[in-house]
Every structure is written in structure tokens, then in C-alpha cells.
Amino acid sequence: MYSNMLVNCSNCRTPLQLPPGAGSIRCALCQAVTPVPDPRALPPQPYAVPGPSPSFHAPPGPPPSFHGRKKAVIVGISYRYSRHELKGCINDAKCMKYLLINKFKFPEPSIIMLTEEEDPRGPKFPSKHNIRMAMYWLAQGCQPGDSLVFHYSGHGSQQRNYSGDEADGYDETICPFDFETQGMIVDDEINAALVRPLTHGVRLHALIDACHSGTVLDLPYLCRMNSSGHYAWEDHRPRSGVWKGSSGGEVICFSGCDDHQTSADTSALSKITSTGAMTFCFIQAIERGHGATYGSILNAMRTAIKNVGGSGGGGGDVVTSLLSMLLTGGSGLSVGGLRQEPQLTACEMFDVYSKPFSL
């Protein structure tokens, strides 16, 4: 029943990755709870093995279909009724789900949504525990050909790093709904849950719309792009030599801003409702035909955000179909001059203007 910390769901048989020390685990798909008699007897997680270039075998399972599976976790947190309240994050989550289903053909049952519109006592409320479980679910049991997406819209922060592995001395974090009592989720944990387990042939795209999110997945390389669209890759590998990339899988992250910047929750991008600036500009780039390569997407996002009182890439155009339907009802787009620069990080360096983008 157990393999590399994997437990088959007692109901639907989906492989579930068991967090350390857990005595049971709930399946995010069918909600069944599977008890584990003695988790201490299980072998350690494969990505806990140190070393600069780990090599792990994919968990056993049926062979993938020709095109592989598509799975996604979407998190939108508004922190309602608190002093931290945001207005656009649940809108972001709904827009991203719509995009994945209608533009990239993700099956709706393979998308897990965590928002405050869910039961606060249920597994899809965006608590720290539930976000952790969703990340484990997304990465577990993946096979070559699989395409994964992790989207987060909410607060991001930083906390002091004492291991010496962060160039600026700070770990980046995301903030669950209950972060004030349960704590934040640190970039090291996100990397261990979503990045390091992924084997050759598996692809993960992360979209993080939060403050201080530039390197929130702790990926080894950051694409530093200037206002003219010229770029160079920066090496962000830890000085300790610990490998923070995947186990052969492809991981690419679009984030809302640099580590030292804040990311806007604003109505400047839509005349009717608030959205996260990064999520809105990512979807707009795809919808307006700028989604051919990673470089064209990043450049379109940065251009839209930095335009002050300009046309926002369309003048008096109506907003494209997806955003018009979900946000503005066909209103014109007006982009304010937001002080943030979306970032691109990855496990490996590549030519951003020639590598095709696909989910």
C-alpha cells in the first residue's frame, strides 16, 4: 500500500502523499479519509535526501496517457472580516479556473479550488493545513507527460532566514487564511512539496500573485528583464550547494513582483471589480495573443502594469472575452501605474523568446 510516502486512497485509490507524522490523510478528490496505522514505519520522503543533484525514481503507477494528465490547485484568499482584507483574490481564482478549463482544456474535476466561499470546516477552505494537503496532492504520483498548475492569490511576506541560503537574508512566504495563528508557509516548504518531487517529463507552472513573491518557489534561476525586454538569467542557487530544483521535472514560475516589492490588489485594471494585477495581466496576455513564448508573456505583463494612464495595450478596446465575461461586462481596460514588476523563475535557464508556452 505504501511507496515513497504514498498511500492509496481507501475509496478512489488515488495515490496520496503522506505528510510527515500524519496518522491519516483526506483525499482532495473524493474526500475519503484513509487511516495510516504507523506513519513512523514509512520510509522518508524522497526529496528529503540532501545533495546538489538528486535523482529519484517516479512513484509506481499506471502508464500515463499519450498527452498526460492535467491537474491544478487554485488558491484565492481575501482574509475577509480582518484588517488584512483583500478584494480581488477570489475573483483571481475564478478567472484562473475559467482560463484553465476553457483555454487549456483542464478537466474541471482535476482542479482543486481553495477559497473562503467553501465550508470553513471543510478540506477546501484555504487554511494552512488544507493548502499543504493540496500541494501534496498536486505533486504526488505524477508521471511523464503530466501538466500541473499551482495558482495562489493572497498575501505574501518575508521572514528572516538563518541558514544563509537566501542572498537577501529573507525567506519568502505565502499567508494562509489562518497565518496569524498557524504561521506562514515558507518558500523552503513550497519548494519541497511542489518542486523537488517532480521527475523527468512532468511540468509544473506556478502563478503567484502576492507581495515579495519573486523567488517564492526557491527555484535556482531568475530571469532579470529590463524595460526594453532584454533579459539575463541570474543564478539563485544557495551558497550551501543544496539543490533546490526538481528531480528532473520542468518547473517555471510567474510571480507578481520582485522579492523586495509589493503586489497590487486593485480596481485600476477593471472598472467594476478588484483583481490581482499580476493575475489580470497574465490572463490578458494570453487572451490578447501574447502567449506564444514565456518572454512574450512576461514582457506583455510588465508593459501593461507599467503603463500609467495609457491605453494598457488596447486603447478603447473592449476587454477580451474571458475578462469581459467575468469582470467588466465588456468595459474598457484602464491600467494604472502600479509599482511592481512580474518575475520569471525556473529550474533551468532557457531562451525565453523561443521556448513555446503551453499548459
Cα 112 to Cα 98: distance, rounded to the nearest angstrom = 13
Identified catalytic residue from 9, 89, 211, 257 = 211
- DSSP string for residues in 68-99: --EEEEEEE---TTSTT--SSHHHHHHHHHHH
Instruction: Give me the residue label for grid cell 542572498.
Output: 167
Ramachandran area for residue 299 (φ above 0: left; ψ -120 to 50: alpha; else beta): alpha
Read off the C-alpha cell for 266.
486593485
Mapped onto helix, strand or coil, the DSSP state of residue 127 is coil
Cα 285 to Cα 279: distance, rounded to the nearest angstrom = 10
Cα 101 to Cα 71: distance, rounded to the nearest angstrom = 11
CA 88 to chain centre: 17
155 is annotated as an active-site residue: yes
Identified catalytic residue from 151, 155, 205, 236 = 155
In which element (H, E) is residue 321 found?
Answer: helix 321-323
Read off the C-alpha cell for 127.
487554511
- DSSP string for residues in 219-231: -SEEEEE-TTS-E
Which residue type, as a one-letter code, is found at position 268?
Answer: A
Mapped onto helix, strand or coil, the DSSP state of residue 108 is helix
Report which of 79, 50, 70 is spatially closest to residue 157, judged by C-alpha positions: 79
**DSSP assigned state of 42:** S
Catalytically annotated residues? 155, 211
